[in-house]
């Protein structure tokens, strides 16, 4: 395809579309990640945090955050002419977890974002995907003010299986996010191949 047009004589390519979830705790960078990489203007369902929500929204560690995702973030990225990813960012607070099952339907895999200052905030997301056998990559969002830890230290702290990829990333940087998404696709494909072998064996 040249400048958005199909080359003469070649039939148009029907791309494979894959659904990827972006999950993690409140204020970890899910909306930022989707926005950094999406080739379309991301659909966002953000609302302003209010005093009424203060008793149920724990903003310790992210006191500067003034909005929250209440349904989902949606974006799209074309990795190749024949491969398009649809990204669905999940809401971070417990009170919106009823939406997760709907968002997870048909998902190839997921990115679980973590902030090393609040690692415990991603435990629930890790548990969610492990229980449903949805392959995921742990993306450690490297905030400027956060301490850096070796990948294996993060793996041990989260008690992750050895086959779960753990990668350092910057949710603001398009190229960094693309690498994380490529890792998710690779991991999910390997996971699917293992399951096929188990069934056929």
Q: What is the pLDDT of residues 136-168, one digit of tens each?
A: 999 999 998 888 999 999 999 999 999 999 999
Residues 44-58 have a mean pLDDT of 52
Alpha carbon distances (Å) from 72 to 43, 90, 199: 8, 5, 34
Residue 120 reports pLDDT greater than 50: yes
Interval 25-41: pLDDT, tens = 888 999 999 999 999 98
d(CA 81, CA 66) in angstroms, rounded, equals 38
What does the angle CA 89 – CA 186 – CA 30 come to, to the nearest 5 degrees? Answer: 15
What is the rounded average pLDDT of the residues 114-139? 95
Tokens representing 175? 């190229």
User: What confidence score (pLDDT) does residue 189 get?
Assistant: 94
Tell me if 4 is assigned to some domain.
no
In a domain, 33, yes or no: yes
The answer to whether position 145 is within a domain reads: yes
Distance CA 30, CA 60 (A): 17
Residues 6+ apart with CB under 8 A from 42: 31, 34, 35, 73, 74, 75
- The average confidence (pLDDT) of the chain is 84
Q: Is 108 exposed, middle or buried (0-12, 13-18, 19+ CB in 10 A)?
A: buried
With b for 16 or more beta-carbon neighbours within 10 A and e for fewer, the 34-68 pattern comes to: bbbbbeeebebbeeeeeeeeeeebeeebbeeeeeb
Place of tokens 């229980």: 131
Which domain, by its residues, includes 113?
16-200
* pLDDT at 97 (0 to 100): 65
H or E element, residue 71:
strand 67-80
Among 94, 93, 90, 111, which Cα is nearest to 20's?
Answer: 111
pLDDT at 172: 96
Across the range 177-188, mean pLDDT stands at 96
Q: Is residue 41 part of a domain?
A: yes
CB 29 within 8 A of CB 173: no
Contacts of 46 (CB under 8 A, 6+ apart): 31, 67, 68, 69, 70
Please report, rounded to a whole number, the percentage of residues in the chain having pLDDT higher than 70.
78
Q: CATH number of the domain that 95 lies in?
A: 3.40.50.300
143, part of any domain: yes
Instruction: With a cut of 80, say whether residue 51 has pLDDT above it.
Output: no
Assigned domain for 5 exists: no
Q: Specify the number of domains making up the chain.
A: 1
pTM, 2 dp:
0.79
């Amino acid at each position: 395809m040249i400048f958005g047009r199909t080359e003469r004589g070649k039939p148009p390519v029907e791309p494979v579309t894959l659904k990827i979830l972006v999950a993690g705790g409140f204020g970890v960078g899910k909306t930022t990640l989707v926005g950094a990489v999406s080739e379309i203007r991301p659909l966002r369902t953000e609302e302003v945090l209010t005093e009424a929500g203060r008793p149920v929204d724990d903003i310790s560690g992210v006191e500067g955050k003034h909005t929250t995702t209440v349904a989902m973030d949606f974006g799209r990225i074309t990795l190749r002419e024949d491969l398009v990813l649809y990204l669905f960012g999940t809401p971070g607070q417990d009170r919106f977890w009823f939406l997760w099952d709907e968002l997870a339907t048909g998902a190839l895999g997921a990115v679980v974002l973590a902030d090393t200052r609040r690692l415990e905030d991603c435990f629930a997301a890790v548990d969610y995907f492990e229980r449903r056998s949805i392959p995921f990559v742990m993306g450690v969002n490297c905030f400027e003010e956060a301490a850096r830890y070796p990948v294996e230290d993060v793996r041990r702290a989260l008690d992750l299986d050895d086959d779960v990829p753990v990668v350092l990333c910057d949710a603001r940087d398009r190229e960094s996010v693309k690498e994380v998404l490529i890792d998710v696709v690779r991991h999910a494909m390997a996971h699917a191949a293992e399951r096929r072998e188990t069934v056929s064996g």
